[in-house]
Amino acid sequence: MHELGVANEVLSVVLAEAERHAAGKVTVVSLRVGVLRAIEPEHLSFLFAHLAHGTLADGARLEIEEEPVRLECDVCGVSEARSLPWECPRCKGSRITVKGGDSLEIASLEIDT
């Protein structure tokens, strides 16, 4: 439930970028959020909408792409997971390398000039 701090940071960056591009209005914000970040997308959207009220991002739609964890298993290769795995979800093998799932990025914006 730390979405409030995240929503604030997203809004700051969005407004800074909008100003840089002399935007009249921001219509879409595309975020990439890793599943390990424990962010609830609906809650984040709700808070963002609330904070954006009265700013250039008022009414902007938040599109959230959830980035899964990538697993490389010695036995059965590459797969994805939605939480931190202790073993390969396919073969239950324990020789796994876990990568990603922790991004928290603004990928792109759409603005009206």
Partner 1 sequence: MGAGKVRIEVERSIQQSADEASRAIRSLLSQRRIYSLNLISSPGSGKTTMIEALLSRFEGKGGVAVVEGDIETDIDAERIRRCGVQVRQINTRSSCHIQPSQLLGVLREMDLSGTRLLIVENVGNLVCPAEVPLGEDARVVLLSVTEGDEKPLKYPLVFRTSDLLVITKTDLLPYVRFDVEKVRRAARAANPRVEIFETSAVSGAGLPALLDRIEALRAEKRFDP
| 111 scored as a contact of partner 1 (CB under 8 A) | yes
CB atoms near residue 57 (< 10 Å): 25
Q: Which 8-state DSSP code applies to residue 73?
A: E
| 103 scored as a contact of partner 1 (CB under 8 A) | yes
Restricting to residues 5-44, name those near partner 1 by CB under 8 A: 5-6, 9-10, 13, 17, 21, 23-24, 27, 31, 37-38
How far apart (Å, rounded) are the C-alpha atoms in residues 38 and 83? 9
**Nearest distance in Å: CB 55, partner 1:** 16
Token reading at 87: 């073993």
One character per residue 56-75, x = contact with partner 1 (rule: CB under 8 A): --------------------
| 83 scored as a contact of partner 1 (CB under 8 A) | yes
**Amino acid making up residue 45:** S
25-34 and 61-67: which strand pairing? parallel
SS3 (DSSP) at 9: helix
**Nearest distance in Å: CB 19, partner 1:** 12
10, 106 contact by CB (below 8 A): yes
Residues in touch with partner 1 (CB under 8 A): 1-2, 5-6, 9-10, 13, 17, 21, 23-24, 27, 31, 37-38, 83-84, 86, 103-113
